[in-house]
């Protein structure tokens, strides 16, 4: 029998819907509820762990139908699916049907023995009877009062923040900002002090993005309402954690062509947007033109409902694109489609469209086109070239809705034979749907290397040259073209000598890539037989799956902060246990090193009061210091890790260690938890290893003493470098100082490795330095036993190590330690 799961912000609402639905079939029916959160002051919300548990409790071979109320309920349901094995995930269906009517219809259909598709159809059509009775031809939600709530009885609270993530409030961080703000009731306004902008609404994705907030800019956020302080704390946490972005994987792409040599016949110069060589016939892509006519409408309400229908359908389409993109290009890049969804929910944009339809009696197409043009024009007026590129995302969303309004079929990018795609430009949703086995290259007359389409092309591994001359649009389909995405050049009907050079470069490129990927599952063994363990740094279950697919031999750093951030209370022991166990199962007995909670100071939790903001949060109350001051919070995490260790290869790693006393205090708490579990006869790994992060100079100075207390070291070069160089790695004014290849940092690594090996323990490195292939010979020569990097870097790093010998690496490391600058170290390894 098909089973049902109800996901709601309100537990009372969900229980009421379940009671109503089960009464319709006069008996027990398998309906699970995942609703509300454990917060007596603010119980409204959704929790992906609860959704996962609810789905797991009613799993059925006939299928599980999940109905959700609104907002984050959908995101929680999608996240919950990640915790399920693939076979079970395929049995679960998320349905957009209305919660109350949909649940009743679905239960009746399921109880009658209908299959999952029939149950879904009944749920989706649940509003038809009500609409017919009320005489509504097209049942849609009517527009709600768009006036912002007044909070005159509450004082306005204000914070000032400096933006540290490298690209500022671009699409994904802006989307996360708006989504976080939407969890609270307060009215939020944001102002870019650096650019002296006016304040804008914090619930508008477009207005927040148009502020042009970049790294180093100062912004002011105000909140007015009863939960103003909690709102600002949650938003402050986003900024403190760089919005979850890992700047270590950011490589600024070329935005202008640097090639100055004269062109030869048939040669085109453009922007190098995605590396690689492609040689193939061209095929043009031009999305069907959407022609709209402006006209007067008498029934404004019906016209507004028509626009709402198109927007709702567009949301469903974008959700489908996001789901596919997550599989193809990963969650991080697919998150741009989250931002597109927020554009469709932008209250400022919707209010403007509604006003045009209601007051000016414009048809939906004309009203929508007008407001989209206004938003696009706002982006184009910005001085920042990167933010100007975001107009493509707005246009992509706008065109999708217009296509639905006029009834055009979706654009078809399906190719029968491999080709180079030639176009004026590519929308992000078009780029996300490309098949790299058919689209061998991309050549456009517009775009830049910072556009989302270019980012997606790089992620897919499709060579791309953008911004070439318009003459390329007049080529006939089938014309032979070659392009080099590394130099930004393209050739029309290239001569044999050029073809030979490019073919050789393409073969070398493809061979190196294939070899790296093909050998990714093999151990990284040097030419003279030394093996280096290559692990992955991860922050989600999806990251672990990608890591294993790229040949990770384990997880060297699981950042557990993702379990604590973006919520109103700390995760429970059971919630953490489920996640740790799920990740361990994906790893299948490979090592899993779990770093205990590393928040506080520069990464505050909104539900823990830190008092007066710290002047130097990087030197403040964070990491192990925070956990030792919150022993119950610490114990809860340790219990979850210990319980998950039974039958798995887990290890615990303590962050921000500065003294021996901190290690001993943490071990005392761990021993207490272990004794509690033994008394309760709960199994755990009795031989579980405990290690520490080496990221503070004091820890390096007493590494010999610390080595006597723990089972392993892991060097975090990101923090260690900034502490050694006394340079805040989030401050662009001193960014050049914070270079992990500086000889002073390398000497710290050497001293740590020597102390560890003298004590008989192993030592790894999990900072971004490990992902730099240039650093591989130095790190190998310094004697590191394990390197932990982002999952995408694993194949190339393994390949780099197999080409080295320990003797050569030790010689290079010795010379590197004698250099007087990071630049000279780079020159040494580049020789």
Residues 729 and 624 grouped into a single domain: yes
Which of 95, 315, 443, 766 is catalytic? The answer is 766
- The yes-or-no verdict on residue 253 having pLDDT over 70 is no
Lowest-confidence region among 35-44, 273-282, 698-707: 35-44
Residue 452 appears among annotated catalytic residues: yes
Residues 555 and 696 grouped into a single domain: yes
Residues 201 and 72 grouped into a single domain: no
Lowest-confidence region among 55-69, 301-315, 341-355, 425-439: 425-439
Residues 495 and 556 grouped into a single domain: no
Q: What is the CATH number of the domain that holds 121?
A: 3.40.50.510
Return mean pLDDT, the chain: 83
* Mean pLDDT of the 236-250 span: 66
d(CA 158, CA 151): 15
Report yes or no on 81 lying in a domain.
yes
Structurally, the chain folds into a number of domains equal to 5
Is 33 within 8 Å of 54 (Cβ atoms)? yes
Q: Which domain holds residue 470?
A: 267-287+412-503
d(CA 744, CA 697): 11
Residues 399 and 416 grouped into a single domain: no
Structure tokens at 255: 């935005």
For the chain, the farthest-separated pair of C-alpha atoms sits apart, in whole angstroms, at: 85
Is 534 within 8 Å of 789 (Cβ atoms)? yes
* Mean pLDDT of the 767-794 span: 89
Q: For 290-346, how does the pLDDT look when each residue is reduced to its tens digit (9 = 90+)?
A: 888 899 999 999 999 999 999 988 887 777 676 556 545 555 556 667 677 778 888
* Mean pLDDT of the 803-818 span: 94
DSSP-based helix, strand, coil % in the chain, nearest 5: 50, 15, 35
d(CA 277, CA 512): 13
Question: Confidence class of residue 140 from pLDDT cuts 50, 70 and 90?
Answer: very low
The full 3-state SS of 736-749, as one line of letters, equals HHCCCCCHHHHHHH
- The yes-or-no verdict on residue 449 having pLDDT over 80 is no
Q: Report pLDDT for 155.
A: 82
- The yes-or-no verdict on residue 174 having pLDDT over 50 is yes
Q: Name the helix (H) or strand (E) containing 798.
A: helix 794-802
* Mean pLDDT of the 117-141 span: 61
Q: For 8-24, how does the pLDDT look when each residue is reduced to its tens digit (9 = 90+)?
A: 988 888 888 888 787 76
Q: Report pLDDT for 603.
A: 58
Q: For 208-217, how does the pLDDT look when each residue is reduced to its tens digit (9 = 90+)?
A: 877 878 888 8
* Mean pLDDT of the 31-50 span: 80
d(CA 97, CA 100): 9
Residues 229 and 95 grouped into a single domain: no
pLDDT: is 794 or 759 the higher one?
759
Report yes or no on 739 lying in a domain.
yes
* Mean pLDDT of the 771-789 span: 92
d(CA 21, CA 107): 6
d(CA 139, CA 125): 10
* Mean pLDDT of the 117-121 span: 83
- The yes-or-no verdict on residue 255 having pLDDT over 60 is no
Query: DSSP 3-state assignment of 342?
Result: helix
Q: Report pLDDT for 184.
A: 83
Residue 766 appears among annotated catalytic residues: yes
- The yes-or-no verdict on residue 81 having pLDDT over 80 is yes
User: In this prediction, what percent of the chain has a pLDDT beyond 70?
Assistant: 83
pLDDT: is 122 or 691 the higher one?
691
* Mean pLDDT of the 430-440 span: 82
Q: Name the helix (H) or strand (E) containing 807.
A: helix 806-817
Report yes or no on 295 lying in a domain.
no
- The yes-or-no verdict on residue 143 having pLDDT over 70 is no
- Bridge pairing between strands 592-595 and 650-654: parallel
Residues 649 and 781 grouped into a single domain: yes
Question: Confidence class of residue 357 from pLDDT cuts 50, 70 and 90?
Answer: very high
pLDDT: is 377 or 112 the higher one?
377
- The yes-or-no verdict on residue 511 having pLDDT over 60 is yes
Q: For 398-409, how does the pLDDT look when each residue is reduced to its tens digit (9 = 90+)?
A: 888 998 898 876
Residues 472 and 325 grouped into a single domain: no
Q: What is the CATH number of the domain that holds 492?
A: 3.50.30.10
Report yes or no on 258 lying in a domain.
no
* Mean pLDDT of the 436-461 span: 79
Final residue belonging to a domain, choices 487, 503, 519? 503
d(CA 618, CA 603): 9
Is 599 within 8 Å of 564 (Cβ atoms)? yes
pTM: 0.52
- The yes-or-no verdict on residue 701 having pLDDT over 90 is yes
Report yes or no on 142 lying in a domain.
no
* Mean pLDDT of the 728-755 span: 82
Which of 452, 627, 648, 742 is catalytic? The answer is 452
d(CA 595, CA 645): 14
Q: Report pLDDT for 77.
A: 85
pLDDT: is 238 or 547 the higher one?
547
Residues 546 and 625 grouped into a single domain: yes
- The yes-or-no verdict on residue 106 having pLDDT over 50 is yes
Q: Report pLDDT for 661.
A: 96
Final residue belonging to a domain, choices 134, 166, 195? 134
Q: What is the CATH number of the domain that holds 375?
A: 1.10.274.10
- Give strand pairing partners of 58: none
Report yes or no on 293 lying in a domain.
no
Radius of gyration of the CA atoms of the chain, in A: 28
Question: Confidence class of residue 144 from pLDDT cuts 50, 70 and 90?
Answer: very low
- The yes-or-no verdict on residue 74 having pLDDT over 70 is yes
Residues 644 and 792 grouped into a single domain: yes
Q: What is the CATH number of the domain that holds 242?
A: 3.30.1340.10
- The yes-or-no verdict on residue 424 having pLDDT over 60 is yes
| Residues in Cβ contact with 177 at an 8 Å cutoff, skipping those fewer than 6 apart | 169, 202, 208, 235, 238, 243
d(CA 747, CA 755): 12
Q: Tell me which DSSP letter residue 784 carries.
A: -
- The yes-or-no verdict on residue 622 having pLDDT over 50 is yes
- The yes-or-no verdict on residue 553 having pLDDT over 60 is yes
Report yes or no on 471 lying in a domain.
yes
d(CA 461, CA 419): 15
pLDDT: is 273 or 535 the higher one?
535
Final residue belonging to a domain, choices 406, 434, 453? 406
- Give strand pairing partners of 315: none
Is 533 within 8 Å of 764 (Cβ atoms)? yes
| Residues in Cβ contact with 193 at an 8 Å cutoff, skipping those fewer than 6 apart | 160, 217, 218, 219, 220
Report yes or no on 145 lying in a domain.
no
Q: Report pLDDT for 261.
A: 40
* Mean pLDDT of the 525-543 span: 89
Structure tokens at 313: 């359908």
* Mean pLDDT of the 442-463 span: 77
| β strands within 156-314, DSSP E | 156-162, 187-192, 200-201, 218-224, 267-269, 271-274, 277-284
Q: What is the CATH number of the domain that holds 596?
A: 3.20.20.60
Residues 565 and 589 grouped into a single domain: yes
Is 163 within 8 Å of 219 (Cβ atoms)? yes
Measure CA of the first residue to CA of the last residue in the chain; give whole Å: 67
Residues 676 and 786 grouped into a single domain: yes
pLDDT: is 589 or 39 the higher one?
589
pLDDT: is 756 or 727 the higher one?
756
């Amino acid at each position: 029998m098909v089973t049902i799961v109800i996901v709601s912000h309100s537990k009372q609402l969900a229980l009421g819907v379940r009671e109503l639905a089960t009464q319709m079939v006069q008996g027990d029916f398998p309906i699970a509820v995942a609703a509300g959160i454990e917060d007596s002051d603010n119980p409204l919300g959704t929790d992906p762990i609860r959704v996962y548990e609810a789905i797991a409790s009613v799993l059925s071979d006939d299928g599980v139908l999940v109905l959700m109320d609104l907002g984050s309920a959908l995101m929680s349901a999608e996240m919950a699916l990640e915790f399920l094995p693939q076979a079970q995930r395929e049995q679960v269906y998320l349905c957009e049907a209305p919660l109350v009517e949909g649940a009743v219809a679905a239960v009746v259909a399921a109880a009658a023995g209908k299959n999952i598709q029939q149950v879904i159809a009944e749920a989706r059509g649940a509003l038809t009877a009500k609409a017919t009775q009320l005489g509504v031809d097209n049942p849609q939600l009517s527009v709600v009062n768009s006036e912002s709530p007044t909070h005159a009885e509450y004082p306005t609270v204000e914070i000032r923040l400096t933006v540290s993530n490298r690209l500022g409030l671009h699409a994904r961080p802006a989307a996360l900002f708006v989504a976080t703000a939407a969890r609270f009731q307060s009215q939020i306004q944001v102002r870019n002090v650096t650019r002296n902008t006016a304040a804008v609404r914090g619930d508008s994705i477009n207005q927040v993005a148009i502020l042009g907030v970049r790294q180093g800019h100062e912004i002011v956020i105000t909140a007015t309402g009863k939960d103003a302080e909690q709102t600002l704390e949650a938003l402050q946490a986003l900024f403190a954690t760089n919005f979850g972005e890992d700047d270590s994987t950011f490589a600024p792409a070329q935005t202008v062509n640097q090639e100055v040599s004269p062109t030869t016949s048939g040669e085109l110069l453009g922007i190098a947007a995605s590396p690689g060589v492609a040689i193939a016939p061209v095929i043009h892509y031009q999305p069907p033109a959407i022609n709209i006519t402006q006209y007067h409408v008498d029934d404004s309400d019906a016209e507004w409902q028509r626009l709402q229908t198109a927007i709702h359908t567009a949301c469903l389409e974008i959700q489908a694109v996001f789901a596919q993109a997550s599989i193809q290009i990963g969650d991080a890049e697919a998150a741009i489609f989250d931002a597109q969804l927020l554009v469709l929910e932008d209250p400022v944009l919707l209010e403007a469209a509604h006003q045009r339809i209601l007051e000016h009696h414009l048809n939906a197409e004309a009203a929508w086109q007008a407001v989209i043009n206004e938003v696009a024009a706002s982006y184009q007026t910005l001085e920042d070239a990167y933010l100007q590129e975001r107009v493509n995302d707005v246009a992509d969303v706008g065109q999708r809705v217009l296509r639905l309004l006029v009834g055009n079929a979706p654009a078809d990018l399906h190719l029968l034979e491999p080709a180079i795609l030639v176009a004026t430009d590519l929308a992000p949703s078009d780029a996300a749907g490309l098949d790299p086995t058919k689209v061998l290259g991309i050549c456009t007359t517009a775009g830049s290397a910072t556009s989302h389409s270019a980012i997606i092309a790089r992620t897919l591994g499709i060579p791309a040259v953008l911004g070439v001359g318009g003459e390329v649009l007049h080529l006939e389909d089938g014309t032979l073209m070659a392009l080099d995405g590394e130099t930004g050049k393209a050739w029309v009907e290239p001569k044999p000598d050029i073809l030979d050079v490019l073919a050789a470069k393409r073969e070398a490129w493809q061979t190196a890539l294939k070899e790296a990927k093909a050998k990714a599952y093999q151990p990284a063994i040097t030419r003279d037989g030394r093996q280096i363990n290559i692990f992955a740094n991860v922050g989600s279950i999806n990251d672990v799956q990608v890591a294993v697919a790229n040949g990770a031999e384990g997880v060297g750093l699981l950042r557990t902060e993702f379990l604590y951030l973006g919520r109103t209370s700390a995760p429970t022991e059971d919630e953490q246990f489920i996640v740790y166990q799920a990740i361990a199962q994906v790893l299948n007995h490979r090592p899993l090193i779990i770093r205990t909670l590393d928040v506080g100071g520069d990464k505050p939790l909104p539900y823990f009061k830190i008092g007066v903001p710290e002047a130097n949060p990087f030197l403040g109350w964070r990491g192990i210091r925070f956990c030792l001051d919150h022993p119950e919070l610490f114990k809860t995490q340790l219990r979850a890790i210990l319980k998950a260790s039974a039958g798995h290869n887990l290890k615990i790693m303590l962050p921000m260690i500065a003294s021996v006393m901190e290690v001993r205090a943490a071990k005392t708490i761990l021993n207490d938890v272990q004794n509690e579990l033994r008394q309760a006869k709960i199994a755990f790994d009795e031989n579980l290893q405990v290690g520490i992060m080496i990221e503070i100079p004091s820890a390096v100075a007493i590494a010999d003493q610390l080595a006597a207390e723990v089972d392993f070291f892991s060097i975090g070069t990101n923090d260690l470098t900034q502490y050694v160089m006394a340079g805040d790695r989030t401050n662009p004014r001193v960014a050049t100082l914070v270079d992990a290849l500086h000889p002073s940092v390398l000497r710290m690594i050497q001293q740590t490795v020597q102390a560890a090996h003298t004590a008989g323990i192993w030592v790894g490195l999990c900072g971004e330095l490990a992902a730099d292939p240039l650093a591989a010979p130095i790190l190998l020569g310094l004697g590191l036993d394990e390197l932990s990097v982002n999952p995408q870097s694993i194949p190339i790093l393994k390949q780099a190590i197999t080409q080295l010998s320990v003797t050569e690496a030790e010689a290079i490391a010795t010379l590197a330690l004698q250099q007087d600058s990071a630049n000279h170290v780079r020159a040494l390894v580049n020789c």
